[in-house]
Amino acid sequence: MLEKYIINLNKEDKFKYIQIYNNIRRLIEENKIKDNEKLPSIRKLSKLLDVNTITIINAYKKLQTSGYAMQKVGSGTYAKRKDSVRNLRKEYSMALKRISKENMKKYIDFIGETACGDMFPVKSFKNILNEVLDRDGQEALVYQEALGYEGLRKHIDDVFWKSKIGKDNILIVSGAQQGIDIISKALVNINDNVMVENPTYSGALSVFKSRRANIFEIPMEKDGVDIKALEKIVKKNNIKCFYTMSYFQNPTGISYSLKKKKELLNLANIYDFYIIEDDYLSELIYDKDIEYVTFKSLDRNDKVIYIKSFSKVFLPGIRIGYVISPGELKETIKNYKINTDISTSSLMQRALDLYLSKGLWVEYINYLNSIYLPRYKYAKECIKNFLKDTVEFNDPGGGLHFYLKIKNNNIDSMKLFHLCKDNKILITPGVLFYKNQVEGLNYFRIGFSETDEKDIFRGITAISDILNMK
């Protein structure tokens, strides 16, 4: 009944939306507005309270960002009691932990983020390891120089950067996550302002939260971040950095257009902030219209901090990656790396170096593309054929996953996760990728790196049955 929403507003207060927010929040906390109860439409409430619709929109937005309401597309805004806003990430994590390693084999695994271990050429890499040990002996097992093994840094420069970066500007790290962590320690202090894509990689969110930074989320569009929204933020705030995944962003699968890369680089120069570029899965480009051009390769003002991991496609169990820093941050980032773990595995650095120098890397990536391209096409067709009435999605054109938006207002991604799990299917709910977890309740991610075509068909048709339940 609308009577419960009658609020005595102080007409002199220009922030009426805060008054409305506080009163509706109180009604929710006192259980006078029930959990999951539909709130009045914007038009109805604005008429009842004699305020303009923008005031109600702002009040509802604040309720959503504070975790007291959620919006269901095409249906309206619904109340959510604070104590019912669970720690959804923890709930997801605990649910997975309850599955034993042995039982995991019985599930269709759509949560994988790395190339399947079955793809990795164990025999050839074993030969590489033996060759390194025969060649270098105990030297292969001792700590390297602070930047990492010189041979590997030189081959990274030669193979991936056409000798334009210089080996002394490359820092070997233990995977992309460590790269984000040490960059954050070098750059971000308490209450510093950072920007991230919305949604974004949960590991980056965790790092910036641990630094107690103020996190500004910028919505994603089909070709990258919303530039206008980002510019509004940088005009009003002193921003330290913007974290971005330039190719097949996790979770959306979006890749940046060349136009947006140039616009972002221009803004970084004007407003003096760094772009942290996490080059994620760019080895797996299936759409020939997607051109590989990194932010770093376009950077003329030393504003890009580049991170690349080999773990996602090459060595999932052995953490190796590298960072290319702007000149003024190079020593600081190197020192934080040393303070974190002294040195990344010497043996693995030398093995990867030899792997690159023998040209085996290119062979392996070509092999991965030959396996994953048909799997990607098949997964896309299954989504189109079986989920067309229940989800929306953008075609990523590469990578190892799809990000889906649920159309059904009667189910959210956590409920879907649990129902899928009961049917021996594992998906990733969207709540993991948002600072405010409830924003992700309409989304889920499915990866195809750990599944063959048979399991892709079985899994997607089962998800279709679940989403179509009345």
pLDDT the model gives residue 354: 92
Average pLDDT over residues 18-30: 85
pLDDT at 470 over 60: no
pLDDT the model gives residue 410: 80
CA 313 to chain CA mean position, Å: 16
pLDDT at 277 over 80: yes
pLDDT at 165 over 70: yes
The predicted model scores a pTM of 0.81
| Average pLDDT taken over every residue of the chain | 89
pLDDT at 89 over 70: yes
Average pLDDT over residues 292-319: 90
pLDDT the model gives residue 317: 67
Nearest CA among 94, 68, 73 for reference residue 83: 68
pLDDT the model gives residue 343: 67
pLDDT band at 85, cuts 50/70/90? very low
Q: Which residue shows structure tokens 């902030």?
A: 273
The upper half-sphere exposure of residue 460, i.e. CA atoms within 13 Å in the direction of its Cβ, equals 26
Average pLDDT over residues 436-459: 92
Average pLDDT over residues 84-96: 76
The token duo for 97 is: 């932990």
Minimum mean pLDDT range among 47-56, 225-234, 319-328: 47-56
pLDDT the model gives residue 8: 74
pLDDT at 249 over 90: yes
Is residue 69 within 8 A of residue 39, CB to CB? The reply is yes
pLDDT the model gives residue 428: 96
Minimum mean pLDDT range among 280-284, 309-313, 323-327, 417-421: 309-313
Minimum mean pLDDT range among 23-27, 31-35, 423-427: 31-35
Which domains are assigned to the chain? 2-84 (1.10.10.10), 88-113+363-467 (3.90.1150.10), 141-361 (3.40.640.10)
Average pLDDT over residues 274-297: 96
pLDDT the model gives residue 177: 92
pLDDT tens digits, one per residue of 434-444:
988 888 989 99
- Per-residue three-class SS string for the chain: CHHHHCCCCCCCCCCHHHHHHHHHHHHHHCCCCCCCCECCCHHHHHHHHCCCHHHHHHHHHHHHHCCCEEEECCCEEEECCHHHCCCHHHHHHHHHHCCCHHHHCCCEECCCCCCCHHHCCHHHHHHHHHHHHHHHHHHHHCCCCCCCCHHHHHHHHHHHHCCCCCHHHEEEECCHHHHHHHHHHHHCCCCCEEEEEECCCHHHHHHHHHCCCEEEEEEEECCEECHHHHHHHHHHCCEEEEEEECCCCCCCCCCCCHHHHHHHHHHHHHHCCEEEEEECCCCCECCCCCCCCCHHHHCCCCCEEEEEECCCCCCCCCCCEEEECCHHHHHHHHHHHHHHHCCCCHHHHHHHHHHHHCCHHHHHHHHHHHHHHHHHHHHHHHHHHHCCCCEEECCCCECCEEEEEECCCCCCHHHHHHHHHHCCEECEEHHHHCCCHHHHHHEEEEECCCCCHHHHHHHHHHHHHHHCCC
pLDDT the model gives residue 144: 66
pLDDT the model gives residue 84: 47
Percent of the chain with pLDDT over 70: 94
pLDDT band at 297, cuts 50/70/90? very high
pLDDT the model gives residue 9: 76
Minimum mean pLDDT range among 85-94, 367-376, 399-408: 85-94
